[in-house]
Chains A and B, each alone.
Chain A
Amino acid sequence: MLAMNKIKILGTIAVAITATIAISSCKDKRSTGWAYAPNMYEHLAYDPDQINDNFKDGKTAQVPPAGTTPIGFVRFDYPNSKDGYEKAGLEVKSPLPQTQANYAEGKLLFTSFCSPCHGLNGQGDGLVIAHGFPAPPSYSSGVSSRGGNMKDLTDGKIYHTITYGVNAMGSYASQLDPTERWKVIMYVHHLQTL
């Protein structure tokens, strides 16, 4: 009788432990779980990435009206065409002081935004290229599809390319503001000499 009881006691303990584990660990990763005072989490103010019925396209993050110039932005009124590219190449010069700090910042930005394709040394051998993206020409030894050697590209031409993109390269205007673009160009000029 005692032996039987022992078994039953052990059995109850086992059941109790499994029940505890089952109840406490059973969490649905697709759900945020129980909420207390949810109105404090689902706030009234709109987040930029939220649906918004006040606008026709339903987005909170609206694009500013055409022609808007944000504070601190310098306008770049050259069209996205061959002529605009050549004209910018002749007329536009970097307004940034050529300091070590700007250069270091440019290197950081280049590493984040350009090196995936252009490679850390601008040879067109980034890791994305190794995964099948068409390779860009090398800054130092390549030939530009718009004529001339890559190493001879001027401030304005590079700025035009970053702003509008060319061939497989997209526009980086939304990721790099004008000052950042000029910092990147400082570093690209260094890579052209490699």
Chain B
Amino acid sequence: MRSFSLLFKQFSRSVLVVAGFAFLGTSAFAQGDAAKGEAIFKAKCTTCHAVDRLVIGPALGPQLNIETDDKFLTKWIQNNQTLIAAKDPKALAIYNKFNQAGMTVFADLSDGDVANILTYVRTTYKAMQSAPKTAVGGPAAESGPSNMVIFALIGVIILAFVIILVLNKVVSTLERLLLKNKELLVAEPIAEAAPVDRMATVKKLAKNKKLVFFVLLCGTLALGSWTWVTLWTTNVHQGYQPVQPIKFPHDLHAGAMKIECQYCHSGAYKSKNASIPSLNVCMNCHKTIDRLKGAATPSLEIAKIYDALGYDPATQKYDTTKARPIQWIRVHNLPDFAYFNHSQHVKVAGLKCQTCHGQVQEMKEVYQYSPLTMKWCIQCHKRTNVNMKGNAYYEKMEAVHDLIKAGKPVTEAAMGGIECGKCHY
């Protein structure tokens, strides 16, 4: 009897355990695990989707609120292309709405995975909607001006401290001087008659030839050095750092993300002008990125790009009638009488951009690093050796020199005299 009851106990326990697991399993499938869904969502979906806004594909939160047929969604996510091929009306509608872009096939996602993703998106969207609207307004007000105010306040406090320290120093030295010169201490009580005395001392000092000479010398030195410095810096814009219409941070793009200079300034390798990128280059990335990483609200600076293009990030449509060029302010400006070619320096000579422009990848705001004076150009041209290897121009030049050495006549054509550009430039 005992053994039978034991057996029964064990049997019933195992049945219960199995049933329990089965129940857990089905409930997991029916509801989905949001945490697991989040992991899959971030690994597979965020390339094209966000919960609350249109990226490349539709905003999934609202979309999944409208579309509640999970069987269709599962099929669509696992293989949208078979649905489209089978001419499923719902599938075709989405396909055509998004310019027949199609979605990546995720055959490796199981039904359970898809349910997890759907649960994650729905719960996240619900949480977003139930969050009070003031929370959206809060960070927007915080992000922009308040930071500035805080920095300004900190600056003022530091400045005040410095002033207090300096004044303290001055006071202490004055006190020391007063203690040293007892004459002054004695003179203190009759300070009321000061105006008359002061004039007297000035007159007295004016009679001191040594002092007058010394003051004049100091004045001449000061004025002279000022004239000298001014003459040297006239027309030299070194250190010029204008305020640009968009606060483009080179330190983030070229520094932290290490995007190479010619990604945007693609003219540097090909032409005279390094070129300021047109806005379509910005939109290569900022079509998708409208805010700083992790920021709650879109960046105001990036919004200026959209504004200039007449682009509406909500609908991802351009309105060319609203477009207007951004008026960047030129930092490096050579006068018209000096010819400078970027491609010659960057492509042929293989110079790094930083040689002339400084560590732009560390600049929050670009300034003119080099003086760009004639002396500066010539100094470098005197010191730099020419790399003639693999350069057709110099090879031709060498060939001409060989002709001269061999005593043969050098024709105009050998000097490139029949190149089109010699006459038709």
Contacts and interface: CB of A to CB of B under 8 A. Distances in A.
Interface string B217-235: 0110110011001100111
A143 interface: yes
Nearest to A27: B239
Interface in A26-81: 27, 29-37, 40-41, 43-45, 47-49, 51, 57-59, 61, 81
A57 B283 CA distance: 21
B102 interface: yes
B240 interface: yes
A135 B48 CA distance: 9
Interface stretch (B3-11, B134-142, B284-292, B405-413): B284-292
B214 A33 contact: no
Dominant secondary structure of chain A at its interface with chain B: loop
Contacts of A131: 256-257, 293
B336 interface: yes
Contacts of A133: 285, 288-289
B325 interface: yes
B218 A12 contact: yes
B237 A170 contact: no
B230 A145 contact: no
A9 B243 CA distance: 44
A168 B239 contact: no
Interface residues of B, number: 71
Given A20-B226, A143-B105, A174-B278, A82 B273 contact: no
Most buried by A among B55, B183, B235: B235
B73 interface: no
A167 B48 contact: yes
Interface string A116-153: 10000000000110011111110000011111000000
A19 B367 contact: no
Interface residues of A, number: 67
Given A13-B218, A41-B235, A43-B335, A112 B263 contact: yes
B230 A29 contact: no
Dominant secondary structure of chain B at its interface with chain A: loop
Contact of A19 (B222, B280, B285): B222
B260 interface: yes
Given A134-B46, A168-B47, A168-B56, A127 B257 contact: yes
Interface string B311-343: 000000000000011011010010111000000
A20 B46 contact: no
Given A12-B214, A132-B289, A43 B336 contact: yes
Interface string A141-182: 001111100000000000000000111111110111000000
Nearest to A50: B330
Interface of B: 46-48, 55-56, 81, 99-105, 177, 180-181, 183, 205, 211, 214-215, 218-219, 221-222, 225-226, 229-230, 233-237, 239-243, 256-260, 262-263, 266, 273, 275-276, 278, 280-281, 283-285, 287-289, 293-294, 324-325, 327-328, 330, 333, 335-337, 367
| A-B pairs with lowest CB-CB distance, top 10 | A43-B336, A170-B284, A16-B218, A132-B293, A134-B47, A145-B104, A24-B229, A29-B241, A82-B100, A20-B222
Interface of A: 3-5, 7-9, 12-13, 16, 19-20, 23-24, 27, 29-37, 40-41, 43-45, 47-49, 51, 57-59, 61, 81-82, 111-113, 116, 127-128, 131-137, 143-147, 165-172, 174-176
29 contacts: A8-B211, A9-B211, A12-B214, A12-B215, A24-B229, A27-B233, A29-B240, A30-B242, A30-B243, A31-B240, A32-B333, A33-B240, A34-B234, A34-B235, A43-B335, A111-B260, A112-B262, A127-B257, A131-B293, A133-B288, A135-B47, A137-B104, A145-B101, A167-B56, A168-B48, A170-B284, A171-B284, A175-B263, A176-B266
